[in-house]
Chain A
Amino acid sequence: MTTSPVGREIDRVDGRLKVTGAAQYSGDYPAPDTAYAHVVTSTIARGTIRGIDTAAALAAPGVLRVYAAEDTRLSLYPVADPYRGLAESYLPLRDTTVRFHGQAIAMVVAESVEQARDAAALVTATYDAQPPRASLADGPRVPSGPTLTGSPSQVTILAPGVESIDEALAASDVVVEAEFEQPMQHHVAMEPHAVLAVWDGDQVTVHAGAQIPSAYALVLSQRLGVLPPQVRLIGRYVGGGFGARVVLYSDAPLAAAAARELGRPVRLTLTREQMFTLTGHRSQVTQTLGLGASRDGVLNAVSHGSVAQMPAIGGFTMTPAHATSDTLYPTPNLHIDPRQVILDLPISRAMRGPNEAPGAFALETAMDELAVATGVDPVELRLRNYATATPTTGRPWSSKHLDECYRDGARRFGWSARSATPRARVDGQWLFGTGMATAVYPATRHPASVRIRLLDDDTAVVSTATSDLGTGAWTMVAVAGADALGIPLERVTPEIGDSDLPQGAPAVGSSATHSTVPLIVGAARDTIAELKRRAVTDSGSPWHGTNAEDLRYERGSLHANGRSMTFGQLLTALGSRGVDATASAPAGAPAGYAYHSFGAHFCEVRVNRLTGETRVTRFTTVADVGRVINVRAARSQIVGGVVFGIGHALLEHNPLEPDTGRLAASTLADYLVPVNADIPDIDVHLLDRPDPLLTGPIGDDGGEVGTRSLGARGLGEIGTVGSAAAVGNAVFNATGIRVRDLPITLDKLL
Chain B
Amino acid sequence: MRPHTFTRVRSVREAHARAGADTAFLAGGTTLVDLMKLDVMTPAHVVDINRLPLRGITLDREGLHVGALERMSDVAADRTVRRHFPVIAEALELSASPQLRNMASIGGNLLQRTRCGYFRDVSTPCNKREPGTGCSALTGVNRTHAILGTSDDCVATHPSDLAVALVALGTDVHLASARGARTVPLDGFYPLPGTTPQVENVLRPGELVTGVSVPRAAWAAHSTYLKIRDRQSYEFALASAAVALELRGDTIARARIAVGGMGTRPWRLTSVERALAGRPATEATYESAARDAADGARTLPHNAFKPALLRRTLVRALTVLQERR
Contacts and interface: CB of A to CB of B under 8 A. Distances in A.
Given A611-B312, A750-B305, A676 B233 contact: yes
Contact of B316 (A611, A655, A743): A611
A739 to B, nearest CB: 13
Interface string B6-25: 00000000000000000000
Contact of B239 (A611, A659, A672): A611
B2 A118 contact: yes
B231 A651 contact: yes
Chain A interface helix/strand/loop/mixed: loop
B316 A429 contact: yes
B3 interface: yes
Nearest to B235: A672
B84 to A, nearest CB: 27
Interface stretch (B102-110, B115-123, B177-185): B115-123
A611 B313 contact: yes
B33 to A, nearest CB: 13
Contact of B141 (A655, A675, A745, A750): A655
Contact of B140 (A664, A677, A743): A664
Contact of A675 (B233, B238, B305): B233
A662 B122 CA distance: 13
Contacts of A745: 230
Contacts of B115: 669-670
Nearest to B96: A669
A657 interface: yes
Q: What size tier do the contact residues of chain A reach?
A: 35 or more
Contacts of B238: 746
Given A121-B39, A613-B228, A746-B238, A657 B233 contact: no
A672 B39 CA distance: 23
Interface in B303-325: 305, 308-309, 312-313, 315-316, 319
A27 interface: no
B231 A675 contact: yes
Interface in A634-675: 650-651, 655, 657, 659-660, 662, 664-667, 669-670, 672, 674-675
Contacts of B121: 666
Contacts of A118: 1-3
A611 B309 contact: yes
B216 to A, nearest CB: 31
A750 B3 CA distance: 48
A613 B309 contact: no
A608 interface: yes
A36 to B, nearest CB: 14
A608 B229 CA distance: 12
Contacts of B1: 114, 117-118, 121
A746 B309 contact: yes
Interface string B245-289: 000000000000000000000000000000000000000000000
B92 to A, nearest CB: 17
Contacts of B305: 747, 750
B141 A664 contact: yes
A611 B229 CA distance: 9
Contact of B232 (A611, A678, A747): A678
A665 B118 CA distance: 10
B124 interface: yes
Interface string A727-750: 000000000000000010111001
A510 to B, nearest CB: 28
A436 B59 CA distance: 54
A300 interface: no
Interface centre among A43, A662, A674 (most CB of B within 10 A): A662
Interface in B23-72: 39
Interface in B131-166: 139-141, 143
Contacts of B117: 664-666, 670
A747 B309 contact: yes
B232 to A, nearest CB: 4
Contacts of B315: 610
B312 A750 contact: yes
A43 B123 contact: yes
A655 B139 CA distance: 13
Max chain B C-beta neighbours (<10 A), residue from A615, A659, A675, A743: A675
Contacts of B233: 675-678
Nearest to A747: B305
B241 to A, nearest CB: 10
B140 A672 contact: no
A675 B235 CA distance: 10
Nearest to A674: B231
A61 B1 CA distance: 13
A611 B230 CA distance: 11
Interface string A297-321: 0000000000000000000000000
B224 to A, nearest CB: 14
Nearest to B314: A610
Contact of B312 (A610, A664, A674, A676): A610
Contacts of B309: 611-612, 746-747, 750
Given A611-B313, A657-B141, A746-B309, A662 B230 contact: no
Contacts of A659: 139
B6 to A, nearest CB: 13
B228 A611 contact: yes
A650 B143 CA distance: 15
A669 B140 CA distance: 18
Contact of B230 (A429, A665, A666, A672): A672
Given A611-B316, A655-B141, A746-B309, A677 B2 contact: no
Contacts of A660: 140
Q: Which 7 A-B pairs have the closest CB atoms?
A: A43-B123, A747-B305, A677-B232, A664-B141, A677-B233, A610-B312, A610-B316
16 contacts: A121-B39, A429-B316, A611-B316, A612-B312, A613-B228, A613-B230, A664-B141, A672-B230, A674-B231, A678-B233, A745-B230, A746-B238, A747-B305, A747-B309, A750-B308, A750-B312
Interface of B: 1-3, 39, 115, 117, 120-121, 123-124, 139-141, 143, 228-236, 238-239, 305, 308-309, 312-313, 315-316, 319
Given A650-B230, A669-B236, A675-B231, 15 more contacts: A43-B123, A117-B1, A118-B2, A429-B316, A610-B319, A611-B312, A611-B316, A612-B312, A651-B231, A664-B141, A666-B121, A672-B230, A672-B231, A743-B230, A750-B312
